Amino acid sequence: MGNEIIDLTQYMKREPEGDLPRGAMALWGADGERSRFALPLWRIIYLAQAERGVICSRLAQGGGEPEPFVALDLAQEPARIDLPADLPTFMDDREAILRDLGAAGVVVYLGRRADRIWSLVVDGVVPGRDPLDARAREDILFLAGECAGLLFIKELADLEDQPTVGEPDAMEDATEE
């Protein structure tokens, strides 16, 4: 690998719109295999014209606070892992798979595994953003499906090495024993 900076815009089907900050990119919880979430999250954030994307889960029974799993923040470092209280972060399979909440953000239902419901939350939307068009919605759903595949088919949701909130480097390599 050379010393060149990788330009991720070459992987986009279209250029991002709006006045999004460029240059900042902070990951939380994306060590090891979970680093695979970085590119689809990055693409979803740009398609939604937002600043941050968080894959999170909560208990299916009784709800509770959302627990971040992976976060990518394009506006601040370290990555913000707290979620706005006024943003509905979870849906179930009886609701729409994708909800465009306008200025509040985008929420995508990723699935249910054992006792947890998984969602993808995108917030920090560019003010005045138009509702997502059909193409952007399809692309976001495709990329969210990639994230769901990593969670459930690759079984990354079942990893024992969950980071501790507030300690981004708390993950240990599960192969060392």
Per-residue model confidence (pLDDT) at position 138: 96
Per-residue model confidence (pLDDT) at position 94: 60
Q: With pLDDT > 70 as the criterion, what percentage of the chain qualifies? A: 70
Confidence of residue 76 (pLDDT cuts 50, 70, 90): confident
Per-residue model confidence (pLDDT) at position 154: 84
> In the structure encoding, which two tokens stand for residue 153, read together?
């088919």
- Taking the domain 23-158, which CATH number applies? 3.30.450
pLDDT, average across residues 10-23: 49
Torsional class of 155: left (φ above 0), alpha (ψ -120 to 50), beta (otherwise): left
Q: Residues 46-59, buried b or exposed e (16+ Cβ, 10 A)?
A: bbbbbbbbbbbbbe
Q: With pLDDT > 90 as the criterion, what percentage of the chain qualifies? A: 42
What's the whole-model pTM score? 0.76
